[in-house]
């Protein structure tokens, strides 16, 4: 069993991204994978900023030259490091190709548990 590289706690498997197993910490909720990141933190930051400025995931991905799913993952990673409580009062919707997921209601259960009081 892998341990969180930030706090040493147990991990959930958090899906597979481009064949790389991803993990989410049960305690601090940080996401990471074992491999060295394909894109730098700067690139991710840029992608997130583009998305936040209404660029849309597809356009952002096209500009960065990565898969739209990567952009979605980065946004989620970012979101998981920001105060989770922010999501409670908003109707933020993440556009993910043709799928529209309401962030607040469709968070994974372990994620949601922590977001609600």
Residues within the interface to Zn ion (CB under 5 A): 4, 6-7, 9, 25, 27-28
Tally helices (H) and strands (E) across the chain.
4, 5
Q: Which of 56, 63, 13 is nearest to 39 (CA)?
A: 63
- Closest contact distance (angstroms) between CB of 87 and Zn ion is 20
- Closest contact distance (angstroms) between CB of 41 and Zn ion is 18
Closest to Zn ion by CB, 23 vs 51, is 23
Neighbours of 11 (CB within 10 A): 20
Closest to Zn ion by CB, 61 vs 107, is 107
Closest to Zn ion by CB, 81 vs 102, is 81
- Closest contact distance (angstroms) between CB of 85 and Zn ion is 19
Beta bridge partners of 16: 21
Can you read off the two tokens belonging to residue 9? 């706690």
């Amino acid at each position: 069993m892998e341990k969180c590289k930030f706090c040493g706690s147990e991990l959930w498997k958090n899906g597979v991204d481009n064949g790389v197993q991803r993990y989410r910490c049960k305690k601090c909720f940080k996401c990471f994978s074992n491999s060295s990141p394909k894109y730098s933190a700067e690139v991710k930051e840029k992608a997130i900023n583009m998305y936040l400025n209404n660029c849309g995931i597809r356009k952002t991905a096209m500009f960065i030259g990565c898969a739209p799913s990567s952009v979605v993952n980065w946004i989620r990673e970012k979101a998981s490091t920001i105060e989770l409580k922010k999501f409670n009062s908003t109707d933020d919707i993440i556009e993910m190709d043709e799928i529209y997921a309401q962030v607040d209601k469709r968070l994974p259960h372990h994620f949601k548990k922590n977001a609600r009081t």
